Amino acid sequence: MERPAWAPPGIDISVPSVSRIYDYYLGGSHNFEVDRQAARRAMEFMPGLPKIMQANRAFMRRAVRYAVAEGVTQFLDIGSGIPTFGNVHEIAQAASPEARVVYVDHDPVAVAHSQAVLAGTERTGVVAADLRKPQDILTAPEVTQGLDLSRPVALMLVAVLHFLEDADEPYDAVAQLCDALAPGSLLILTHASYAGIPLSEEVASGTVGVYREIRNPLVMRDAEQIRRFFDGFGLIEPGLVSMPDWRPDATGGPEGDAVDEDPYAFSGFAGVGRKA
């Protein structure tokens, strides 16, 4: 297997990575053949997976613009993956030049690529840490020096919580992060669910099986289980909804975030909550 020049040293390129699979779905170039194979296997069951990821990104951009419009200009993006066009810092800093963004991921490829992309970019940082260990994130120098946690922060958990099994105690991890945030902070979240997928649960579960095989279990949760992550936060209208239904921009933003009518785009849930 030929090793790409951009692959960080020490990375096992024979093991699939969810962040590189996501990059492949979005049409990115920072993925290996092993990631593409896993993605194609998952798409045999759910051919609309790239559309779900595009809807996810479009929601993320709308939510970031909403946060800045509400005066929240600090972003902690956990499970940020591999930066692609229209990432959080680009959207936030276009809306407010003073916006600060810290990206967090546990995938060494995602971290290394983020560092390369962000080199020389002011008011941004990258942390190699795992959502399962929230205190490692909160005490990282990039977070303690790059963000002012005494002021509101937008905590972004976009397409990441469904990779935490119940044994990983995801509710406790989110609660620890949220407890560290100032009143007025926002929680921006998306989560996979069988709800809304235009397939039977039996067929869609084939995709879940692919992720289990690559040792990155995909945990489908229902609306009530996902709503629990917002404990202590008031859900902002329209509440917990499918991604295209969260404050759609009918005109499309600069990234072309027009209302998406593809049935796969309505899979899963998205929401934004404000800390009291």
**CATH number, domain containing residue 87:** 3.40.50.150
User: For the chain, first and last CA: distance in Å?
Assistant: 52
More confident residue, 14 or 233: 233
Contact between residue 147 and residue 139 where contact means Cβ atoms under 8 Å apart: no
d(CA 226, CA 137): 22
Per-residue pLDDT, 251: 47
Residue 248 lies in a domain: yes
Model pLDDT for residues 210-219, shown as the tens digit of each residue: 999 998 999 9
Residue 223 lies in a domain: yes
More confident residue, 267 or 112: 267
Model pLDDT for residues 23-65, shown as the tens digit of each residue: 999 999 888 899 999 999 999 999 999 999 999 999 999 999 9
Give the closest residue to 270 by CA, choosing from 158, 182, 153, 108. Answer: 158
Residue 246 lies in a domain: yes
Please give the tally of structural domains in the chain.
1
Task: Name the pTM for this structure.
Answer: 0.93
d(CA 100, CA 127): 14
The values of phi and psi at residue 250, to 5°, are -65, -25
pLDDT mean over 221-248 = 97
The amino acid at residue 87 is: N
Residue 89 lies in a domain: yes
Angle at which helix 18-25 crosses helix 33-45, to 10 degrees, equals: 70
Query: Does the pLDDT value for residue 275 go beyond 60?
Result: yes
Model pLDDT for residues 107-166, shown as the tens digit of each residue: 888 898 888 889 889 999 999 999 999 999 999 999 999 999 999 999 999 999 999 999
Residue 37 lies in a domain: no
d(CA 155, CA 272): 10
Residue 171 lies in a domain: yes
Domain that holds residue 66: 51-199+219-275
Residue 270 lies in a domain: yes
Residue 34 lies in a domain: no
